[in-house]
Amino acid sequence: MGSELERIKDAVVAGKRDQVVAIVQEALNGGLSATRIMTESLIPAMNVVGEKYSTGEFFLPQMMIAARAMDEALPILRPHLAQGNYKKKAKAVVGTVQGDFHDIGKNIVKMMMEGAGYEVIDLGVDVTADAFIKTIRNESPKFVLLSALITLTMDSMKKIVEAIDHAGLRGKVLIGVGGAPVTQKFANEIGADFYADDAHGCVSNCNRLTA
Ligand code: B12
């Protein structure tokens, strides 16, 4: 079992999409849980890729190829994470903030939230404050979930929180923030309602605040 998780991780790092799909399927058929595949193979693989990029062993193309391999695995896991709740708990809007095109983490958050019974509106990547505000006005979500992966785009996160405040909508939504460079300290500084370092933590916070 352990070696299957290692094989998935290695195949993602090497960007071998077909292999990733085959081994993930094999692992699921063999009884490995989707959550373990996600947390013990796929996410650690992205960390390895990030380290290799930092040390100059990988360049942008290798990082893109690995990300595409990871993307192929997510739809296979999605049905295994969904719990088939009939009554949705609450609505959440999720997006990667302006200037940032990273969406793997945001997509995992979306998947886990849906699996936990939330209705999720996904605004995609590079999302402006105006787009969030428009969606809050039109859809009245309970949660606004902001994702950022680049240190510089954390500033967009701050601006989005400020804009929601200035639009007079702060009391209507709860704002959650996350993404690799984001910290609890930063979340406190910008006045977000919660921070979590993974998608599971995001769901736990939403559950806590919905209860
Ligand atoms: C894959 C990747 C890419 C892919 C993205 C593909 C895609 N579709 O997303 C590609 C190749 C396109 C890419 C491009 C770039 N990248 Co890049 N990328 C990465 C890499 C390797 C992995 C990111 C990832 O997917 N991690 C896995 C996911 C699952 O983790 P996560 O996003 O953190 O999400 C989890 C939690 O944080 C949390 N979470 C996420 N969102 C939210 C939201 C809420 C509300 C909550 C509660 C929780 C939560 O839950 C998630 C699941 O558990 C990272 C390295 C790293 N270790 O982070 C670099 C990295 C983020 N990239 C980096 C850079 C520099 C870039 C580029 C600028 C490179 C360039 N020169 O063009 C461009 C960015 C262009 C842009 N404007 O966005 C740097 C950022 C440096 C910095 N500190 O600012 C990093 C850190 C690499 C490095 N070591 O230097 N990248």
Confirm or reject: Cβ of 73 under 6 Å from ligand 1: no
Which pLDDT does position 83 carry in this prediction?
61
154 and 55 in a common domain: no
Question: Taking Cα atoms as reference points, which of 138, 134, 108, 116 lies closest to residue 209?
Answer: 116
Q: How far is the CA of 197 from the centre of ligand 1 (A)?
A: 13
pTM: 0.93
Single out the residue in 56, 81, 106 at which a domain terminates: 81
Residue ranges making up the domain that contains 161: 91-210
121 and 39 in a common domain: no
77 and 96 in a common domain: no
Confidence band, pLDDT 50/70/90 cuts, at residue 151: very high
178 and 97 in a common domain: yes
153 and 59 in a common domain: no
In a domain, 158, yes or no: yes
201 and 148 in a common domain: yes
Mean local confidence (pLDDT), 85-109: 90
Q: How far is the CA of 127 from the centre of ligand 1 (A)?
A: 15
The CATH number covering residue 150 comes to 3.40.50.280
The CATH number covering residue 60 comes to 1.10.1240.10
In a domain, 60, yes or no: yes
Structure tokens that stand for 192 in this block? 């977000």
Mean local confidence (pLDDT), 81-103: 85
Tell me the per-residue pLDDT of 120-133, one tens digit each, with 9 for 90 and over: 999 999 999 999 99
Which pLDDT does position 20 carry in this prediction?
96
Q: Are 66 and 12 in contact (CB under 8 A)?
A: yes
C-alpha span between 99 and 123 (Å, rounded): 14
Domain count, the chain: 2
C-alpha span between 81 and 152 (Å, rounded): 32
Confirm or reject: Cβ of 178 under 6 Å from ligand 1: yes
Q: Which of 34-43, 75-84, 109-118, 144-153 has the highest mean pLDDT?
A: 144-153
Q: How far is the CA of 150 from the centre of ligand 1 (A)?
A: 7
Mutate to test the pocket of ligand 1, among 77, 97, 102 (most ligand atoms within 8 A of CB): 102
174 and 143 in a common domain: yes
20 and 69 in a common domain: yes
100 and 64 in a common domain: no
Q: How far is the CA of 149 from the centre of ligand 1 (A)?
A: 4
Confirm or reject: Cβ of 64 under 6 Å from ligand 1: yes
C-alpha span between 144 and 140 (Å, rounded): 10
In a domain, 174, yes or no: yes
In a domain, 86, yes or no: no
Output the CA–CA distances (angstroms, integers) from residue 79 to 4, 10, 83, in the order listed.
Answer: 20, 24, 8
Residue 75, number of CB atoms within 10 A of its CB: 11
Single out the residue in 81, 104, 120 at which a domain terminates: 81
Confidence band, pLDDT 50/70/90 cuts, at residue 2: low
Q: Are 172 and 140 in contact (CB under 8 A)?
A: yes
Q: How far is the CA of 30 from the centre of ligand 1 (A)?
A: 31
Q: How far is the CA of 67 from the centre of ligand 1 (A)?
A: 10
109 and 41 in a common domain: no
Confirm or reject: Cβ of 112 under 6 Å from ligand 1: no
Confirm or reject: Cβ of 177 under 6 Å from ligand 1: yes
User: How far separated are the first and last CA of the chain, in Å rounded?
Assistant: 37
In a domain, 23, yes or no: yes
Single out the residue in 16, 51, 81 at which a domain terminates: 81
Tell me the per-residue pLDDT of 101-118, one tens digit each, with 9 for 90 and over: 999 999 999 988 988 889
Tell me the per-residue pLDDT of 59-84, one tens digit each, with 9 for 90 and over: 999 999 999 999 899 999 988 886 65
Which atom of ligand 1 lies closest to the CA of 179? 37
Which amino acid, residue 157?
M
Tell me the per-residue pLDDT of 164-181, one tens digit each, with 9 for 90 and over: 999 999 999 999 999 999
95 and 77 in a common domain: no
124 and 50 in a common domain: no
Which pLDDT does position 1 carry in this prediction?
47
Q: How far is the CA of 104 from the centre of ligand 1 (A)?
A: 8
Confirm or reject: Cβ of 147 under 6 Å from ligand 1: yes
